């Protein structure tokens, strides 16, 4: 059994939302990052907020609020229960959000309680080790797991059963590890915290996304032993080997985007969708994507809503297949 998570939509062209008339101006724009500073959601809020302001798409500085806990569940509940009609608020989301929703990990909450705005790209998964580790390839790491599952702990920034966890299980499954539940995974509130534990020697490997790992590679702290992409990425990421070229047919792409409160007005919703679409279409954003290893993924409004629904369904199916949910 080979499990893959692919994004057929990666090649979709830009939508036409940029042309929507904007009758709404956010008074106090705010972005919730549902994790501690240093991870992918934090990057999404801060980079998009800064870029929206730099390009004059919002007039005021985007306030970024880090609200960690429950693999995004604390933030989701806050938006649904307390801020359901806040027109100034957007929230960073990703495949990790879809994973938690797919597995029923946000008690009493479903994807239909919020409005899905737009994507800003996709981030391929990586598996990395400390720079001074003796492990240099993904098969070496997975052989250690095969021989003695207790000898390897893998840290990630999503909850147990979350997207970072699933990526390692997909790789382990593709390598022929029959009971993927034997893989020892330790969850932290964000990729930054997970890498800190790797550098401290508390764990032997890190599972995350390329945008999270890049800074730590640049600083010489970690080495990427596999990217979960169909082929090697371009530019400064071209040196990172894929799992596929090491004989492990594992692909995992993490989409990045935003949702908004379910009670947001149509005017505010259309405006936010339009602003994010305009940002995505800009040359500046293409440069940011290239610098951070983001692959193209342009989905806005109803198209994005449908894409998230499909993601949730697909992850539900995979989670059942590998025994995470019944």
* Each residue's pLDDT tens digit, 174-191: 999 988 889 999 999 888
Residues 6+ apart with CB under 8 A from 217: 128, 223, 224
What pLDDT was estimated at residue 80?
A: 97
pLDDT for position 15: 43
What single-letter DSSP state applies at residue 140? H
Cα–Cα distance, 144 to 127 (Å, whole number): 14
Q: Which residue has the tokens 């390897």?
A: 152
Instruction: List the Cα angle 105/305/72 in 5-degree steps.
Output: 30
Give the burial string for 52-80 (b: 16+ CB within 10 Å, else e): beeeebbeeebebebbbebbbbbbbbbbb
**Topology of 124-246 in CATH?**
D-Maltodextrin-Binding Protein; domain 2 (3.40.190)
- Cα 128 vs. chain centroid, distance in angstroms? 16
pTM of the model: 0.78
List all residues 6 or more positions away from 237 whose beta carbon is below 8 Å from its beta carbon. Answer: 210, 227, 293
Give per-residue pLDDT as tens, 205-231. Answer: 999 998 888 889 999 999 999 999 988
For residues 235 and 312, which has the higher predicted lDDT (pLDDT)?
Answer: 312
Q: Encode pLDDT of 277-321 as tens digits.
A: 999 999 999 999 988 888 889 999 999 999 999 889 888 888 887
Q: pLDDT band at residue 41, thresholds of 50, 70 and 90?
A: very high
- Cα separation, 169 vs 185, whole angstroms: 10
Cα 91 from Cα 179, distance rounded (Å): 35
Report the pLDDT averaged over residues 52-70. Answer: 96
pLDDT at 129: 98
Residue 17 has pLDDT above 80, yes or no: no
The mean per-residue pLDDT over the stretch 243-266 comes to: 95
Average pLDDT of every residue of the chain: 90
Banded pLDDT at 16 (limits 50, 70, 90) = very low
Give how far the C-alpha of residue 191 lies from the chain's centroid of Cα atoms, to the nearest Å: 10
- Note whether 8-123+254-321 and 124-246 share their fold: yes
Under 8 Å CB-to-CB from 321, ≥6 apart: which residues?
1, 3
Which residue ranges make up each domain of the chain?
8-123+254-321, 124-246
**Residue 322 predicted with pLDDT over 80:** no
Q: Per residue in 102-140, pLDDT tens?
A: 999 998 899 999 999 999 999 899 999 999 999 999 999
CATH number of 8-123+254-321: 3.40.190.150
What is the DSSP code string of 299-324? -BTHHHHHHHHHHHHHHHHHHHHTTS
The whole-number pLDDT of residue 158 equals: 87
Give the three-class secondary structure for 48. Answer: helix
Terminal Cα-to-Cα distance of the chain (whole angstroms): 18
Q: Which residue has the tokens 């994790």?
A: 35
pLDDT value at 233 more than 70: yes
Listed range (22-26, 28-32, 76-80) with the worst mean pLDDT: 22-26
């Amino acid at each position: 059994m080979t499990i893959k998570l692919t994004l057929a939509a990666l090649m979709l062209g830009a939508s036409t939302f940029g042309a929507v008339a904007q009758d709404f101006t956010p008074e106090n724009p705010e972005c919730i990052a549902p994790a501690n500073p240093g991870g992918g959601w934090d990057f999404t809020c801060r980079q998009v907020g800064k870029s929206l302001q730099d390009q004059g798409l919002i007039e005021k500085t985007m306030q970024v609020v880090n609200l960690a806990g429950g693999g995004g569940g604390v933030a989701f509940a806050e938006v649904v229960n307390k801020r359901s009609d806040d027109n100034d608020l957007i929230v960073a989301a990703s495949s990790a959000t879809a994973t938690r929703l797919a597995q029923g990990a946000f008690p009493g909450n479903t994807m239909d309680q919020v409005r899905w705005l737009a994507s800003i790209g996709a981030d391929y998964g990586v598996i990395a080790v400390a720079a001074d580790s003796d492990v240099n390839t993904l098969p070496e790491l997975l052989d250690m797991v095969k021989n003695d599952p207790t000898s390897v702990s893998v840290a990630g920034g999503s909850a147990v059963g979350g997207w970072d966890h699933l990526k390692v299980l997909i790789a382990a499954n593709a390598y022929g590890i029959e009971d993927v539940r034997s893989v020892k995974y330790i969850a932290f509130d964000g990729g930054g915290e997970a890498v800190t534990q790797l550098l401290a020697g508390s764990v032997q490997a890190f599972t995350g996304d390329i945008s999270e790992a890049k800074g730590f590679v640049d600083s010489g702290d970690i080495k990427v032993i596999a990217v979960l992409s169909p082929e090697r990425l371009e530019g400064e990421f071209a040196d990172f080997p894929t799992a596929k070229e090491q004989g492990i047919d594992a692909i995992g792409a993490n989409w990045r985007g935003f949702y908004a409160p379910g009670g947001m007005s149509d005017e505010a919703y259309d405006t936010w969708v339009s602003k994010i679409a305009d940002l995505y279409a800009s040359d500046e954003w293409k440069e940011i994507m290239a610098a951070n290893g983001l692959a193209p993924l342009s989905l806005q409004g109803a198209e994005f809503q449908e894409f998230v629904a499909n993601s949730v369904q697909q992850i539900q199916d995979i989670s059942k297949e590998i025994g995470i949910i019944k």
